[in-house]
Structure 1
Amino acid sequence: MRAAGRPVDAVQLDIAERLANRAIEPQVVISTVMSRSMGASVLGDVKQPKKIELSPAGERIIDVISQAGGLSVPDEEATVTLQRRGRRVTVAYRTLSDHPQENIYVQPGDTIFVDRNRRTFLAFGLTGESGRFDFEDSDLSLGEALAKAGGLIDDKAEPQSVLLYRVTDRDLLRDIGVDVSRFGTRDVPVIFRANLRDPAAFFAVQQFPMQDKDVLYVSTADAVELVKFLTILNSVTASTRDIASSHDAWRD
């Protein structure tokens, strides 16, 4: 008797009918050990990428990721893409863990991709090491970022000119009273300066959180090195007008 591709209840009925002449009111129960139609694939940055067999009770996205061995990347940097019937939706893994209503049930035939969205910052100037650095930890302060970059070069760096460049939403700046009328775009370049000659600044930099794609620069002299810093950023971001406006705001 062929069972492949047939519903379980139809196979049970067929078997019961065939046993009718051999048993009184035969009862047939069929249990499915594995069904291709009930599987979902989990791929990407998980420890054991594989196809997961879904139970009748149902599994949610985080459940099947756990069955695939869990994340192989920091959860703060993980994004999850659900592919279902030709559609794709991507959310941060933290969204699923922090908001249970977003952690929806997986359906047969779904494919779940886990990708790493690396959080990094750049360090230039008179730090022990220049380059791109991963956050690695869930949270990273400005002080910790300076340490990752090798600290300040003692005999050359100007401790009062530790500069941090960040692109910030104009609405956020407006809410805290910053005049953003000179900027025509939604994203506004902002420069923060830490004066490490002030002992209080050592406490402040441990409380100041870094954000993804921040740029850290340690200069030798305020005016000259700031111009150099803005010139570097101009070549990287190609937003001459915005950076020039930042320069004017700094001088003001």
Structure 2
Amino acid sequence: MHSSLKLIAVLVSVLLLSACSLPRGAAVQSEILDEKASENPTFQVVDVTRANIPGILTWPKSGWHGHYHWPNTSSGSQSSIIRTGDRLNVRVWDSQDNSLITNPGERFTEIKGVEVDANGSIFLPYVNKVGVRGLTSAGARSKIQQRLEPIVPSAQVQVSLQQGRDHSIDVVGGVTKPGSYPMPSRNYKVLNVLADAGGIPSELRNPRVRLLRGSQTYEISSDLLFEDGSKNALLQPRDTLIVEEDDKSFIAFGASGKEDLIYFPKDDLTTLEAVSLMGGLRDARADPQGVLVLREYDSDAISSSHPGPDLQQVVFTFNLTTADGLFAARKFPINPNDTVLVTESPVVKLRTVLDLFGAVVGVSSQTANLAN
């Protein structure tokens, strides 16, 4: 009996000494935040509550610029402005019997498909070249009539516009029917061309619409584009649209149902939603009092002139066992490139040691019985 107790004592001592090295799937919260108490910590720890959420929301964004750069609806042309490559149909009416510009018995003459040249002009008989680029159809009509007046005082001019081949929009991808789409009018908008291209497939994850215009690049989420009519920008000739899935993501790690790189399914994501996307907390392992969000800010986010973090690297902590912590997690936004870590409960280590201790006691008892 004495030898059995001695054996148990030795084995328990070994278990206690090796407890810290038992295999685990995630860190315990205290292990990660241990540096918090040091004299010169390299990261900041913020316990997130309902009280400090409003202040944290004023901090600079991390992982992306935090807003969409998109032209407004007035950035296009509201009227039919004539451009190089357009064609004009010019009809000149003259009621005089001996008119210079009409044949006997006719009341008008028509010149179709007169192309606007590189200098922005068209050529017409009797008046030579007339500069029309930058004018509307009405402006071109007025200018042509003024030029004809000294020659045919009674002439009346009509002008209709045919847009040139350069007046098209390219839709590159992320739609049912990518291709080049001619602009039917100057009032052609983003939603118009997306509809003509067959729309955005429903299986595309949180699609973004990117607009390439000259040297400028704009982008917006499709949800915001569809929700806000002021975002339905007018298109300009040679614009290019690209629809693609959002590449913003966060890292899921620790004692959760899923450890992976998780893409944002929508523009804004809260901590509670992120935990849900991670498959929740593992019942047997997770510490609901130790859900952490690890974030790294740009160096210019640290400034005394505006609210922000004290250090570039910040660990935000959440206690999901309290109503305050749950409400805070519902409001706290996840930024792209964040790491959401569910720490392991300290009870898991204790439970493992006790299970091993029970197994040792059982083996010892069997050994004692055999000895007797």
Pair in the same fold by TM > 0.5: yes
Query: 1:149 pairs with 265, 272, 278, which one?
Result: 278
Instruction: Decide whether aligned partners of structure 1 residues 203 and 105 sit closer, same or farther in structure 2, where only a CA change above 3 A counts.
Output: closer
Give the C-alpha shift of residue 46 in structure 1: 2.5
Deviation (angstroms), 1:149: 0.9
- Residue 209 of structure 1: which of 333, 348, 361 is its match? 333
Match of 1:90 in 2: 217
1:7 is the counterpart of 2:87: yes
What is the one-letter code of the residue matched to 1:108? Answer: P
Tell whether the 8 Å contact from 1:78 to 1:114 is kept in structure 2 after alignment.
yes
User: Are the counterparts in 1 of residues 170 and 181 from structure 2 also a CA contact under 8 Å?
Assistant: yes
* Identity of matched residues, %: 27
**Are 2:149 and 1:67 equivalent residues in the alignment?**
no
* Equivalent position of 1:164 in the other structure: 293
Structure having the larger proportion of residues in helix: 1
Structure number with the bigger relative contact order (C-alpha 8 A, sep ≥ 6) is 2
Residue 192 of structure 2 aligns to which amino acid in structure 1?
A: D
Q: Given that residues 161 and 194 in structure 1 are in contact (C-alpha distance below 8 angstroms), is that contact kept between their aligned partners in structure 2? A: yes
- Which residue number corresponds to residue 121 of structure 1? 250
Aligned equivalent of 1:189: 313
Deviation at 1:212, TM superposition (A): 1.9
Gaps of 5+ in 1: 14-18, 181-187, 223-252
Compute the displacement of 1:220 (Å). Answer: 1.9
Distance 1:198 1:77, change over 3 A: same
> SS at 1:203's partner residue?
helix
Amino acid at match of 2:269: L
Distance 1:33 1:132, change over 3 A: same
Q: What is the CA–CA distance in structure 1 between the aligned matches of 2:186 and 2:323, rounded to whole Å?
A: 59
Q: Does 1:80 align with 2:210?
A: yes
Structure 1 CA distance for aligned equivalents of residues 163 and 86 of structure 2: 14
Query: Are the aligned partners of 1:164 and 1:191 in contact in 2 as well (CA < 8 Å)?
Result: yes
Tell me, yes or no, if the aligned pair for 2:272 and 2:330 is still in contact at 8 Å: yes
Deviations 1:5-27 (A, max 9, x none): 883337x68xxxxx954751235
Distance in 1 between residues matched to 2:188 and 2:320, nearest whole Å: 52
| 2:107 corresponding residue in structure 1 | 25
RMSD over equivalenced CA pairs, Å: 3.7
**TM-score (normalizing by structure 2):** 0.45
| Paired residues of 1:157 and 1:219 also in contact (CA < 8 A) | yes
Question: 2 CA distance for matches of 1:6 and 1:214?
Answer: 51
> Following the alignment from structure 1 to structure 2, what is the Cα–Cα distance between the partners of residues 197 and 6?
68
1:126 to partner: Cα distance: 0.8
Matched with 1:55 is: 184
- Listed one character per residue, the Cα deviations across residues 118-173 of structure 1 (whole Å, up to 9, x for unaligned) are 22221111111110222213432211211111111112222221111122345377
Residues 301, 308 of structure 2: 8 Å contact kept: no
Whole-angstrom CA distance in 2 between matches of 1:48 and 1:6: 26
Report deviation, 1:35: 5.2
Rounded to whole Å, the distance in 1 between the matches of 2:110 and 2:276 is 69
Distance (whole Å) between structure 2 residues aligned to residue 211 and residue 23 of structure 1: 77
Q: CA deviation at 1:53?
A: 1.8
Q: Distance in 2 between the 1:130 and 1:173 partners?
A: 34
- Opposite residue 310 of structure 2, the aligned amino acid is D
Q: Secondary structure at the match of 1:205?
A: helix
Change (3 A) 1:114 1:90: farther
For residues 209 and 268 of structure 2, the distance between their equivalents in structure 1, rounded to whole angstroms, comes to: 17
Q: Kindly tell me: are residues 151 and 173 of structure 1, through their superposed partners in 2, closer, same or farther at Cα, counting changes over 3 Å? A: farther
**1:228 maps to what in 2?**
none
| Structure number with larger C-alpha Rg | 2
Matches of 2:273 and 2:86 in 1, distance apart? 61
Give 1:179's match in structure 2, choosing from 288, 295, 310: 310
Deviation at 1:77, TM superposition (A): 4.7
Q: How many pairs are equivalent?
A: 202
Q: Aligned letter for 1:220?
A: E
Q: Deviations over 1:90-130 (max 9, x none)?
A: 22225994694x76543333332233332222111111111
Query: Given the superposition, is the C-alpha separation of residues 70 and 23 from structure 1 closer, same or farther in structure 2, using an over 3 Å criterion?
Result: farther
Is the CA contact (8 Å cut-off) linking 2:206 and 2:245 kept in structure 1?
Answer: no
SS at match of 1:36: coil
- Do 1:75 and 1:93's aligned partners in 2 also have CA atoms closer than 8 Å? no
Structure 2: stretches of 5+ with no match in the other structure = 1-84, 93-100, 113-159, 347-372
CA distance in 2, matches of 1:217, 1:112: 37
Q: Distance in 2 between matches of 1:51 and 1:142?
A: 42
**Paired residue secondary structure (1:41):** strand
